[in-house]
Amino acid sequence: MSYKARIKNNICTNAHPKGCYYNVHEQVMDALDNRINTDLDGKTALVVGASSGIGLASRIALSFAYGMDTLGVYYERAGQAHKFGSAGWYNNQALEYYARRSNRTALSTNQDAFQEKAKDWVIQKLQQQGKKLEVLVYSLAAPRRSIEGVGDYQSTIKPIHENFTGTTLDIVKGKLRPLQLDTATPEEVEATVKVMGGEDWQNWVIRLQKAGVLAENFKTIAYSYLGPEQTQAIYGRGTLGAAKRHLHETAIALDQKLKGIKGRAHIGLFEALVTPSSSVIPSLPLYISALHQIQKQRGTYESTLDQVLRMYRDGFMQNDNDIKIRVDDIERDPITQKRVNELLEMVTEDNLKEIINVDDFRQAFLKQFGFEHDFIDYENKPDPLMPPATCSFEYRSHLSEAV
């Protein structure tokens, strides 16, 4: 029986275990290729939102490039004997497996990061090990948040000031489809800020600080995106932009709160990347397709892990004085933006695939869920509980004993 990707509204609802394990394996190998000798080796980092996209790449970088022990908080559908888990769950199984093989500690909890129980779990693990936290990465991209005794909040992706009319990319069909979005209500803006703003990040830091588990010179970072004019109607000037502005304000407040332990709080600004989260933001898949096409033509393309490693190497781990740490310079390059705009102005439903390689975006998107790998036989349904140890991949010879 075949096992193929199931996609609805640019969301992939299933995952292939072996393909997910391979994705993590490849990033681990890349991180080992970029090992950095610092005093963080053997110290402890926490990644909140650790199972996919930038959060997963961050944990891989911290563990395998910086040699840190890691704690991870994620909220995913676990695999069962007759039911497949989500991509994030398989990613985490692989990360823990490769960490064990390289004598690194990687402990994880599968629960809602917004809840106090998740924070309690982290504190308990640190106290049991007699360790302090050196780094906290906040990379949560959740659609909803429940606050006990208050209510439930659902994030929305809408413009704020005026209705939006445009086009977006249907990843499955590789076609453009019309898009119309009404402006968000004040309640929708507030709910999106509650879910995707900085309140929970601040809750994490304050809770951990009160528990006495933050090390001196502790660093924390939350991730954001600014983007060029092409993305502003829905992103920057929309509900997501409101949430990200709140995140930036939180970074400034936290930076002051952490002065007592010589700590720092930063905002990390990435370029537009292919992630499960970015794929559901209207109009962004088409823009990213054009952006990455131009970047690859110019030889300036960076993967998600490349971006994380550069942010850490050149900014975050250097205790830079600027609260904002940016690696979106390649996206903002004037020549790149000029060429991207030219592509987007030329494209129509009829000439889409002639102008922009949308199949490249589709493949990159599906690979994050374990699909579109040439070496995997998708005509045969895999075991939902297939362990990473049963999957052998070709190791680079000089690193064959590292993982």
Per-residue pLDDT tens over the stretch 207-242? 999 999 999 999 999 999 998 988 888 898 999 999
Give the model's pLDDT for residue 320. Answer: 62
Furthest-apart CA atoms within the chain: distance in Å: 62
pLDDT tens across the length of the chain (403 residues): 789 999 998 999 999 999 999 999 999 999 999 999 888 999 999 999 999 999 999 999 999 999 999 999 999 999 999 999 999 999 999 999 999 999 999 999 999 999 999 999 999 999 999 999 999 999 999 999 998 888 899 999 999 999 999 888 999 889 999 999 999 999 999 999 999 999 999 999 999 999 999 999 999 999 999 989 888 888 989 999 999 999 999 999 999 999 999 999 999 999 999 999 999 998 899 999 999 999 999 999 999 999 999 999 998 887 667 899 999 999 999 999 999 999 999 999 999 999 999 999 999 999 999 999 999 999 999 999 999 988 877 544 333 444 4
**Token pair recorded at residue 135:** 């780094």
Give the model's pLDDT for residue 394. Answer: 55
N-term to C-term CA, the chain: 33
CA pair distance 143, 373, nearest whole angstrom: 29
CA pair distance 331, 388, nearest whole angstrom: 35
Catalytic residue, candidates 66, 90, 97, 235: 235
Give the model's pLDDT for residue 396. Answer: 44
The CATH code belonging to domain 7-158+188-278+303-330 is 3.40.50.720
Give the model's pLDDT for residue 219. Answer: 96
Position 286, amino acid: L
Active site annotation includes 22 = no
Domain chopping of the chain, boundaries: 7-158+188-278+303-330
Full-model pTM: 0.94
Closest CA relative to residue 92, chosen from 71, 69, 70, 108: 108
Give the model's pLDDT for residue 395. Answer: 47
